[in-house]
């Protein structure tokens, strides 16, 4: 408990919590086969002068506004989630996760750490959810640049051509292809809190306690803790608002037909999921029947000169490869793979 207090008071650890979590201490003891009542832990904290009373907060209603699973998926990534999840890690990690508004399971089909926030990470998260559960009715996101094109104001030196929201980022293009509308910015602090609270809980359990106390230093070790905590949150913990275990509530809704997930199906003309869940570029075929992509000239046979083609990019971090698929007139014209090392300046 004293070690917990030292972690909380450490100003070098920008972990978003400033309070003791007595339930986390109880759960950690339970993993070691030690059963202790929460009241006993709080009593010990008072005797060690580590106790903090719960501050009075403004009353507000926390309710489920959707009537079925899949009605609204909240995708989570904000700048504060990119921090030192472990004081022993060399760098910061970014967490991407999602939440179903009705059942409240955190990380619906996906939760992972990344070295930094990327569009590709969010595309992978969307793919995992859609291929596991189906295509949701709507997505709720914030104004992160991954989700929304925001242009700064004009100046005397520069006149912008495209104003805010006049260009679709890569993630938005994916949603348009899958026919999923998106909404931004919570209508109330309570609505935004639905995704904030599970995130803060994961921060406390993973970053403040487990990673610090077990001296974990690698992202893979952090991923193991993340999977364990998400499993406990989804399958064993009663949610404070719904009063049900999230996975049980989710399965119950699905059995009762209370679902707005539609079956995942590839939109035409695509026959491969990699052509949907990918990064997209447009290029014009030059006089040598080639396109230039990041200082690479790629031959595109059977495409008329000066025609615009769609270039699909699929990074494979495990194999350190970049797959490039070139489409024209709704047909796949060329598929080629390069080592990722040949694109050192490209941020995927």
**pLDDT single digits (tens) 50-82:** 766 665 555 544 555 688 999 988 876 544 445
CB burial string 101-116: b at 16+ within 10 A, e below: bbbbbbbbbbbbbbee
User: Same domain, yes or no, for 12 and 77?
Assistant: no
pLDDT of res. 116: 77
Q: Does 262 fall in a domain?
A: no
Domain housing 323: 273-342
Average pLDDT over residues 195-203: 62
| Contact indicator for 261, 135 with CB cutoff of 8 Å | yes
| Beta strand spans in the chain (E) | 73-76, 94-100, 106-114, 139-141, 182-184, 279-284, 290-293, 296-299, 308-316, 321-328, 331-339
Q: Which of 85-89, 142-146, 313-317 has the lowest mean pLDDT?
A: 142-146
- Tell me what the pLDDT averaged over the chain comes to: 79
Tokens 């520069």 belong to residue: 158
**Distance separating alpha carbons of residues 180 and 174, to the nearest angstrom:** 9
Could you tell me the maximum CA-CA distance found in the chain, to the nearest angstrom?
80
User: Same domain, yes or no, for 35 and 172?
Assistant: no
User: Same domain, yes or no, for 160 and 299?
Assistant: no
323 pLDDT above the threshold of 60: yes
User: Same domain, yes or no, for 171 and 298?
Assistant: no
Tokens 């006149």 belong to residue: 159
**Distance separating alpha carbons of residues 338 and 296, to the nearest angstrom:** 10
| Contact indicator for 90, 209 with CB cutoff of 8 Å | no
pLDDT tens by residue, 284-320: 999 999 999 999 999 999 999 999 999 999 999 889 9
User: Same domain, yes or no, for 92 and 192?
Assistant: yes
pLDDT of res. 14: 46
Q: Does 22 fall in a domain?
A: yes
Query: What's this model's pTM, rounded to 2 decimal places?
Result: 0.76
pLDDT tens by residue, 145-182: 677 655 554 554 455 555 545 568 898 899 999 999 98
* CATH code at position 131: 3.30.420.10
pLDDT of res. 330: 94
102 pLDDT above the threshold of 60: yes
């Amino acid at each position: 408990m004293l070690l917990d207090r030292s972690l909380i008071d450490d100003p070098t650890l920008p972990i978003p919590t400033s309070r003791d979590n007595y339930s986390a201490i109880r759960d950690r003891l339970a993993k070691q086969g030690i059963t202790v009542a929460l009241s006993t832990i709080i009593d010990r904290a008072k005797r060690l002068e580590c106790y903090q009373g719960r501050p009075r907060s403004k009353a507000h209603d926390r309710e489920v506004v959707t009537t079925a699973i899949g009605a609204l998926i909240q995708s989570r990534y904000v700048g504060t989630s990119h921090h030192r999840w472990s004081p022993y890690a060399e760098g910061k990690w970014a967490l991407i996760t999602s939440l179903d508004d009705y059942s409240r399971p955190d990380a619906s089909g996906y939760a992972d750490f990344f070295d930094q926030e990327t569009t590709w990470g969010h595309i992978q998260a969307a793919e995992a959810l859609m291929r596991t559960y189906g295509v949701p009715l709507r997505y709720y996101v914030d104004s992160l640049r991954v989700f929304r094109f925001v242009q700064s104001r004009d100046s005397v030196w520069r006149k912008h051509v495209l104003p805010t929201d006049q260009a679709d980022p890569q993630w938005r293009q994916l949603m348009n292809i899958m026919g999923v509308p998106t909404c931004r910015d919570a209508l109330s602090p309570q609505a935004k809190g639905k995704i904030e609270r599970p995130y803060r809980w994961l921060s406390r359990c993973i970053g403040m306690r487990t990673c610090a106390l077990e001296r974990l230093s690698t992202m893979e070790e952090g991923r193991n803790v993340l999977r364990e905590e998400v499993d406990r949150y989804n399958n064993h913990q009663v949610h404070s608002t719904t009063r049900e275990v999230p996975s049980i509530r989710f399965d119950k809704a699905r059995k009762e037909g209370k679902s707005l997930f539609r079956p995942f199906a590839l939109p035409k003309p695509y026959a491969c999921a990699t052509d949907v869940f990918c990064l997209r570029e447009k290029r014009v075929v030059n006089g040598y029947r080639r396109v230039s992509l990041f200082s690479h000239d790629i031959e595109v046979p059977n495409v008329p000169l000066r025609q615009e083609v769609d270039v699909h990019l699929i990074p494979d971090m495990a194999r350190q490869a970049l797959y490039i698929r070139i489409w024209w007139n709704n047909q796949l014209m060329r598929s080629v793979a390069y080592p990722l090392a040949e694109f050192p300046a490209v941020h995927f």
